[in-house]
C-alpha cells in the first residue's frame, strides 16, 4: 500500500443507482478506499452523471447535469466511481459535451483527468490487494461494456478476485457480449433486451458458478432481475462488496436475511 | 446542369469552398503519381526462398495445391501427373502465351492442348501468372492479348504457372512490377488477385468449393528464382 | 425496396420468434466473430493498418470532388464512361439507357448493395429486362423474392431446407426435378444453371468495393468468382458504385484490402480481387467491349462536412453487424431497409429519413463492440447518439419518452429536491417489496418488469445513510 503516511483526499461519485438501489456498494467502496489510506469525501450536491439524458438525446439537460458534477467535484485530488459506465461518462464524454465551450472544456478535462473507476483505481493507483478477504464461492465475473471497452478495466478485477481467499473464479463463454441493459434501452426495447440477457444468463449459468459479480450496478440489476424471474438462484453482487468482505450480505434482489 | 456539376457543386457547398486551389490539386496529383507504399506487413519481407515457402503454405491453407518444378520444360510432365492423379480429363485449355505454348507438350502426347479464351465446356484451364504475392498466397494475373482472363475463371480446374523469380512479398511490390512491365500500354483491362479456388459459404455458412470459379487451383512454381 | 424501418419493433418481434433465423444468427455470431479475431491476431500490423485505412478514407473525403474528377478522367482515358447520378432514379435511368442501347434482354449481376439501394432488379424487370443475381446468396434471395439480410451474406437467414425447396421450385425448368438436399450438390446445381446465364447475358452489372482514382479502375472482391464471370463474358460491363468508394492509388487499395477481408469473414484475402479498367483493349481476346461506371450520390454528398462524414469511410465489411448483440437477436430484415446492423442504424436515418428510421439509432445499448471492430474506426455509437439528439430536438422522439427524461432531468439538476424525491421513492419501493427484496410488477415500470423482477432498494439512500453516519461520527 502506498501513501499511508499522507491521507489522500478522494471524492466518491456514488452513482445514482448505488445511491438509490444498493447503498452497500457505496459503503464497500468507502471501506476499500479507506483501507488504501484514502480519506473519502462524498460531495452532497451530486445526483447522477447524466447518462439517462445523454443517451436519450437531451444534450441540454446533460450539459446542465455535467456542469453540476464538475462543480461538485472541483478541487479533489481524485474522483472515484464504483461504475465503469459513470466513470466512462465523466472521463470520455464530458469533454466531448463541452467541445464548443473552451472554459468548460478545460474544467471537464480537468475532472476527467482526476476521475477513475473504483476497481482500477484500487489496483493501479493504490496498489490494493485483497489478501485479507475470504469468500468461499465459485464466482463468475461479468464485464460491463463500459469497463471492457471504454475504461479497459478487464484485468484489474480479475487480479483482485484472484487474491480473495477460497474464491474460485470461473470465466463464462462470450465474455464480450452485452447483457442487454443499456440504460433506457432495456425499457424501450424490452423484448430485445430480454433476448440479450437470456443469452448472457445461459453463459453465466453454464459456468456452474454460484455467484456473479460485476463492476456496474446497471448490468447487475438487469441480470439479477432476469435470473429471479426465471427462477434461478445465483447470488449477484457488486465486486466492491466482495473485496470489502461484505459478500455474505444478501445479494442483489435477494431480500433481507 | 449536368449530374456531374450537381454532385461536385453539392460536395463543394458542404465543404464551403469552390474547386480546390491549383496548388492543392498539384499536391494531390503528386501524391497519386508517387505510388508511395503505405505500411507493408513484415511477414512477406523475407528472402526469396522463404517467400516460396510462405507462398506455398498460404496457398495450401486456402485449399490450393502447389507443386515446384526445376524449370519450365518440366511443366508438361507435371501437368500430366497432376491430371492423372486427380482423375481429370486430358484436354487443357491454355492461354495463347509463349510461356505456355512453347513448352514441350509434344513430349506428352496423351495431353490435348487447346489454345484460346475460356469456354463453358472447358474442364481444365491453364494460364501464366504475372506475379505471386507471398504475404497471403496470392496470384496476380494480368489480362492481355496472350492472357485472356476467362481462362482463370470458366474452367472447373485451374492450373497457374508462376515463375519463382516473379514472387514478391507484398501487393505493392507486385504493382511496382506490373507498372514497370506495362509502362507503355498502361494497366491491363483486368488484373485478378487470386487466393485459392472458388468457394461459397452462402448455405448455412458451410464451406463449399467451386461456387462459380474453378473448384480446384493448382500452382506450378517454376525454378528457384536464380 | 419497401422501407419498413418504422415497424422495427414489430419486425424484430416476428424475427425473434423465427427458430430458423435464430439458428442462422447463432452461426453468424459464432463463425464470423471467431474468424475475425484469429485473422486480426495473426497480423501484428493489423491495428496500424486500421489507422492507415481510416486516414486514407479521411483524406479522400476531404478532397472528394477532386478525386472523383480524377477518377472520371482516367476512366474516360481508358475508353469507359462515367455517369454521375444524383439520385436512385437517375442511376436506374442511366442503366436502362445503356441496356437499351445494346438491346439487352438479360443482365447478370454480381453482388452489389448499391443496386439494392436503387432497387434495380424490380425496375429492370418492369422494363422487360431479366436481371439474374449470380452471387449464390443473392441468387437464393432473388428466388425467394426477399431483400438481403446481411451485407456480405445476403442469405444468412435461409436454411438448407429452404434452399432445397427454392431450387426444387425454380430449377425444374432446367431439368432438375428431384429435391436436392446435399449442400454441395445444391451449389453444383446453381453453378450449372448460372454458368449458361453468364455466357448468354447481354450486360453484366457489378458493384465496386473500390474505385481507384490513379488508374480509373473499379475493384470487386468475391469468393465465388461470380463477379468475374459477370464482368468478363457479356459485351457490356456496368459498374454501379457510390461516390465514397474512390481511393487514391493501388497502394492505398492494397492497404485497405488488408483490413477488409480480415474484418469481414476473417479471411486474410478474399479469393478473388479483381481490378477492371475500361473496356477490353484492341488486341485483347476476351473482356467486355463497353465499360460504364454509374457513380451514385444518393444523399452522400450532403453528409460531407457534417457529423455523418465519418460514415462514408465504411468499406461494407459487415463486421459491425457480425459483432452486434442487437443484430444477433433481431437479424437483418428487422432494420427495414437495405443496410442492417449498426451501420444501417447509423446511415438509414440519412437515407430514408429520421422519422421513418427513428427506432434504429435507439435500439442500441451503446455496447461499443461495433466501433471496436470497425476496420476504419467509424465511431458508430457517437453517430447513433447524434441521431438521438436530432430526434429529441426535432421532437421526433415520442412524447412520453421526452417527458420522462425532462421530469427526471428536473430533479437531477436540483440536488436538494433530488434527495427528497429519491428518499421518498426508495421508501415506497422497499415498502412495496417487503422482505422479498424484489418487485414483480410496477404500475409505471412495465418496460422493466415485463422482462425481469426489479431488485428493490435496500431501504434508505446512500446519501441519507452517509449523512447520518457523518453526524454520528461528529
Residue-wise pLDDT tens digits, B9-20: 999 999 999 999
At C330, the pLDDT band (50, 70, 90 cuts) reads very high
Q: List the 52-81 stretch of B: residues with Cβ below 8 A of C.
A: 58, 62
Shortest Cα–Cα distance, B184 to chain C (Å): 13
At A219, which helix (H) or strand (E)?
Answer: helix A217-229
Residue C127 pLDDT exceeds 70: yes
The answer to whether C385 touches C306, Cβ cutoff 8 Å, is: no
Number of structural domains (chain C) is 3
Closest CB to C153: pick one of B32, B196, B202: B202
Alpha helices (runs of H) in C434-461, residue ranges in sequence order: 446-449
> According to the model, what pLDDT value does residue C442 have?
87
Both C328 and C466 in one domain: the answer is: no
Residue B89 pLDDT exceeds 50: yes
Residue A5 pLDDT exceeds 70: no
Chain centre to alpha carbon of residue A195: 23
Residue A233 pLDDT exceeds 50: yes
| DSSP code per residue over C193-226 | HHHHHHHH-SEEEE--SEEETTTTEEEEEESSSH
Q: Name the burial class of residue A155, with classes exposed (0-12), middle (13-18) and buried (19+) by CB atoms within 10 angstroms of its CB.
A: exposed
Both C274 and C262 in one domain: the answer is: yes
Does C165 reside within a domain? Answer: no
pLDDT tens for C86-102 read: 999 999 999 999 999 99
Q: Calculate Rg over the CA atoms of chain A.
A: 18
Shortest Cα–Cα distance, C171 to chain A (Å): 38
CB contact under 8 A, C225 and B203: no
Does A207 reside within a domain? Answer: yes
Flag whether A touches C (3+ CB pairs, 8 A cutoff): yes
Both C244 and C125 in one domain: the answer is: yes
Both A100 and A134 in one domain: the answer is: no
A152: CATH: 3.40.50.11810
CA distance C384 to C406: 20
Q: Which domain holds residue A25?
A: 8-124
pLDDT tens for A98-151 read: 999 999 999 999 999 999 999 999 999 999 999 889 999 999 999 999 999 999
CATH class of B46-222: alpha beta
The three-state secondary structure class of C300 is: coil
Average pLDDT over residues C308-325: 97
CA distance A83 to A76: 19
Mean pLDDT computed over every residue of chain C:
96
The answer to whether C325 touches C12, Cβ cutoff 8 Å, is: no
Average pLDDT over residues B130-146: 98
Average pLDDT over residues C291-306: 97
Model ipTM? 0.97
Closest CB to B120: pick one of C135, C163, C199: C199
At A1, the pLDDT band (50, 70, 90 cuts) reads very low
Average pLDDT over residues A12-23: 97
Closest CB to C415: pick one of A45, A64, A222: A45
pLDDT tens for C373-392 read: 999 999 999 999 999 999 99
Both A15 and A114 in one domain: the answer is: yes
Average pLDDT over residues B80-98: 97
Both C93 and C211 in one domain: the answer is: yes
> According to the model, what pLDDT value does residue C400 have?
87
Both C428 and C457 in one domain: the answer is: yes
| Final residue of a structural domain among C372, C397, C422 | C397
Average pLDDT over residues C175-179: 94
Both C361 and C468 in one domain: the answer is: no
The three-state secondary structure class of C474 is: coil
Both C122 and C268 in one domain: the answer is: yes
Mean pLDDT computed over every residue of chain B:
97
Q: Where are the domains of chain B?
A: 46-222
> According to the model, what pLDDT value does residue C455 have?
95
Both C338 and C467 in one domain: the answer is: no
Q: Name the burial class of residue B102, with classes exposed (0-12), middle (13-18) and buried (19+) by CB atoms within 10 angstroms of its CB.
A: exposed
The strand pairing partners of B139, in sequence order, are B132, B194
Average pLDDT over residues B54-60: 98
Three cell numbers written together for A199: 443469452
Both C242 and C362 in one domain: the answer is: no
Q: Identify all chain C residues contacting A54, using CB atoms and an 8 Å cutoff.
A: 385
Q: Which domain holds residue C77?
A: 57-142+202-301
Number of structural domains (chain A) is 2
pLDDT tens for C140-167 read: 999 999 999 998 899 999 999 999 999 9
CA distance A55 to A40: 30
Percent of chain C with pLDDT over 70: 100
Three cell numbers written together for C147: 431483400
Average pLDDT over residues C234-243: 98
> According to the model, what pLDDT value does residue A257 have?
62
pLDDT tens for A137-187 read: 999 999 999 999 999 999 999 999 999 999 999 999 999 999 999 999 999
Average pLDDT over residues A51-62: 96
Q: Identify all chain A residues contacting C12, using CB atoms and an 8 Å cutoff.
A: 189, 191-192
Residue C1 pLDDT exceeds 80: no
pLDDT tens for B183-213 read: 999 999 999 999 999 999 999 989 999 999 9
Closest CA to C369 of C361, C379, C359: C379
Residue A4 pLDDT exceeds 90: no
Does A249 reside within a domain? Answer: no
| DSSP code per residue over C21-58 | HHHHHHHHHHHHHHHHHHHHHT-TTHHHHHHHHHHHHH
| Final residue of a structural domain among A106, A124, A142 | A124
CA distance C332 to C146: 11
At C434, the pLDDT band (50, 70, 90 cuts) reads confident
Amino acid at each position: 500500500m502506498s501513501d499511508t503516511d499522507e491521507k489522500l483526499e478522494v471524492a466518491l461519485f456514488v452513482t445514482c443507482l448505488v445511491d438509490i438501489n444498493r447503498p452497500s456498494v457505496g459503503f464497500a467502496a468507502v471501506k476499500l478506499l479507506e483501507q488504501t489510506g484514502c480519506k473519502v469525501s462524498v460531495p452532497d450536491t451530486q445526483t447522477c452523471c447524466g447518462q439517462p439524458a445523454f443517451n436519450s438525446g437531451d444534450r441540454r439537460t446533460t450539459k446542465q447535469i455535467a456542469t453540476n458534477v464538475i462543480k461538485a467535484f472541483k478541487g479533489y485530488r481524485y474522483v472515484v466511481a464504483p461504475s465503469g459506465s459513470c466513470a466512462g461518462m465523466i472521463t470520455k464524454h464530458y469533454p466531448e459535451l463541452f467541445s464548443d465551450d473552451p472554459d468548460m472544456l478545460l474544467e471537464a478535462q480537468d475532472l476527467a483527468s482526476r476521475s477513475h473507476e473504483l476497481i482500477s483505481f484500487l489496483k493501479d493507483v493504490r496498489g490494493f490487494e485483497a489478501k485479507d478477504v475470504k469468500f468461499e464461492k465459485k464466482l463468475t465475473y461479468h464485464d460491463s461494456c463500459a469497463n471492457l471497452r471504454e475504461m479497459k478495466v478487464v484485468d484489474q478485477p480479475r487480479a483482485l478476485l484472484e487474491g480473495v481467499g477460497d474464491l474460485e473464479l470461473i470465466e463464462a463463454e462470450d465474455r464480450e457480449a452485452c447483457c442487454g441493459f443499456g440504460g433506457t434501452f432495456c425499457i424501450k426495447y424490452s423484448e430485445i433486451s430480454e433476448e440479450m440477457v437470456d443469452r448472457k444468463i445461459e453463459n453465466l449459468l453454464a459456468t456452474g458458478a454460484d455467484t456473479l459479480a460485476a463492476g456496474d450496478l446497471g448490468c447487475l440489476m438487469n441480470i439479477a432481475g432476469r435470473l429471479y424471474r426465471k427462477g434461478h438462484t445465483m447470488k449477484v453482487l457488486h465486486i466492491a462488496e466482495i473485496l470489502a468482505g461484505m459478500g455474505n450480505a444478501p445479494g442483489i434482489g435477494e431480500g433481507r436475511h | 446542369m449536368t449530374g456531374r456539376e450537381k454532385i461536385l457543386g453539392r460536395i463543394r457547398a458542404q465543404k464551403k469552398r469552390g474547386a480546390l486551389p491549383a496548388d492543392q490539386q498539384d499536391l494531390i496529383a503528386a501524391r497519386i503519381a508517387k505510388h508511395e507504399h503505405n505500411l507493408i506487413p513484415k511477414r512477406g519481407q523475407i528472402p526469396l526462398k522463404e517467400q516460396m515457402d510462405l507462398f506455398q503454405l498460404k496457398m495450401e491453407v486456402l485449399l490450393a495445391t502447389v507443386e515446384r518444378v526445376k524449370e519450365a520444360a518440366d511443366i508438361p510432365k507435371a501437368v500430366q501427373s497432376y491430371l492423372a492423379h486427380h482423375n481429370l480429363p486430358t484436354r487443357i485449355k491454355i492461354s495463347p502465351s509463349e510461356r505456355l505454348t512453347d513448352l514441350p507438350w509434344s513430349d506428352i502426347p496423351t495431353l490435348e492442348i487447346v489454345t484460346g479464351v475460356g469456354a463453358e465446356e472447358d474442364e481444365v484451364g491453364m494460364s501464366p501468372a504475372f506475379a505471386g504475392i507471398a504475404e497471403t498466397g496470392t496470384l496476380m494475373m494480368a489480362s492481355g492479348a496472350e492472357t485472356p482472363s476467362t481462362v482463370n475463371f470458366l474452367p472447373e480446374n485451374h492450373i497457374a504457372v508462376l515463375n519463382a523469380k516473379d514472387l514478391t512479398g507484398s501487393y505493392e511490390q507486385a504493382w511496382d512490377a506490373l507498372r514497370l512491365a506495362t509502362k507503355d500500354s498502361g494497366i491491363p483491362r483486368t488484373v485478378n488477385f487470386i487466393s485459392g479456388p472458388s468457394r461459397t459459404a452462402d448455405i448455412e455458412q458451410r464451406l463449399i468449393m467451386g461456387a462459380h470459379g474453378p473448384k480446384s487451383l493448382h500452382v506450378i512454381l517454376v525454378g528457384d528464382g536464380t | 425496396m419497401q422501407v419498413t424501418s418504422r415497424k422495427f419493433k414489430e419486425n424484430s418481434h416476428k424475427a425473434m420468434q423465427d427458430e430458423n433465423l435464430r439458428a442462422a444468427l447463432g452461426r453468424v455470431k459464432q463463425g464470423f466473430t471467431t474468424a475475425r479475431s484469429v485473422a486480426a491476431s495473426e497480423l501484428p500490423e493489423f491495428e496500424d493498418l486500421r489507422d492507415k485505412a481510416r486516414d486514407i478514407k479521411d483524406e479522400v473525403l476531404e478532397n472528394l470532388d477532386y478525386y472523383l474528377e480524377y477518377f472520371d478522367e482516367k476512366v474516360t482515358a481508358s475508353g469507359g464512361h462515367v455517369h454521375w447520378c444524383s439520385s436512385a432514379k437517375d442511376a436506374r435511368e442511366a442503366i436502362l439507357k445503356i441496356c437499351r442501347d445494346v438491346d439487352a434482354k438479360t443482365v447478370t449481376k454480381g453482388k452489389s448493395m448499391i443496386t439494392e439501394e436503387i432497387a434495380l432488379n424490380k425496375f429492370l424487370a418492369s422494363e422487360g429486362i431479366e436481371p439474374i443475381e449470380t452471387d449464390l446468396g443473392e441468387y437464393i434471395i432473388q428466388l425467394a423474392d426477399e431483400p438481403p439480410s446481411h451485407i456480405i451474406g445476403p442469405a444468412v437467414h435461409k436454411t438448407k431446407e429452404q434452399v432445397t425447396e427454392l431450387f426444387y421450385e425454380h430449377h425444374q425448368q432446367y431439368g432438375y426435378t428431384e429435391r436436392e438436399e446435399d449442400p454441395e450438390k445444391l451449389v453444383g446445381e446453381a453453378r450449372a444453371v448460372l454458368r449458361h446465364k453468364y455466357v448468354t447475358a447481354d450486360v453484366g452489372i457489378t458493384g465496386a468495393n473500390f474505385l481507384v482514382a490513379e488508374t480509373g479502375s473499379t475493384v470487386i472482391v468475391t469468393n465465388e468468382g461470380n463477379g468475374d464471370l459477370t464482368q468478363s463474358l457479356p459485351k457490356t460491363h456496368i459498374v454501379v458504385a457510390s461516390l465514397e468508394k474512390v481511393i487514391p492509388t493501388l497502394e492505398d487499395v492494397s492497404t485497405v484490402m488488408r483490413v477488409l477481408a480480415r474484418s469481414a469473414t476473417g479471411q486474410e484475402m478474399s479469393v478473388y480481387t479483381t481490378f477492371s479498367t475500361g473496356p477490353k483493349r484492341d488486341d485483347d481476346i476476351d473482356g467486355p467491349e463497353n465499360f460504364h461506371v454509374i457513380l451514385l450520390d444518393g444523399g452522400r454528398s450532403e453528409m460531407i462536412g457534417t457529423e455523418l462524414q465519418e460514415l462514408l469511410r465504411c468499406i461494407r465489411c459487415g463486421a459491425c453487424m457480425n459483432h452486434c448483440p442487437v443484430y444477433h437477436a433481431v437479424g437483418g430484415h428487422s432494420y427495414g431497409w437495405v443496410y442492417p446492423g449498426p451501420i444501417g442504424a447509423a446511415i438509414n436515418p440519412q437515407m430514408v429519413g429520421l422519422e421513418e428510421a427513428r427506432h434504429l439509432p435507439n435500439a442500441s445499448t451503446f455496447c461499443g463492440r461495433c466501433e471496436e471492430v470497425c476496420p476504419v474506426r467509424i465511431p458508430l455509437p457517437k453517430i447513433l447518439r447524434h441521431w438521438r439528439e436530432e430526434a429529441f430536438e426535432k421532437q421526433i422522439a415520442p412524447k412520453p419518452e421526452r417527458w420522462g427524461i425532462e421530469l427526471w432531468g428536473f430533479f437531477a439538476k436540483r440536488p436538494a429536491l433530488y434527495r427528497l424525491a429519491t428518499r421518498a421513492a426508495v421508501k415506497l419501493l422497499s415498502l412495496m417489496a417487503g422482505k422479498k427484496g424484489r418487485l414483480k410488477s410496477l404500475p409505471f415500470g412495465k418496460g422493466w418488469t415485463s422482462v425481469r423482477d426489479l431488485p428493490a432498494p435496500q431501504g434508505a439512500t446512500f446519501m441519507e445513510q452517509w449523512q447520518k453516519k457523518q453526524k454520528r461520527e461528529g
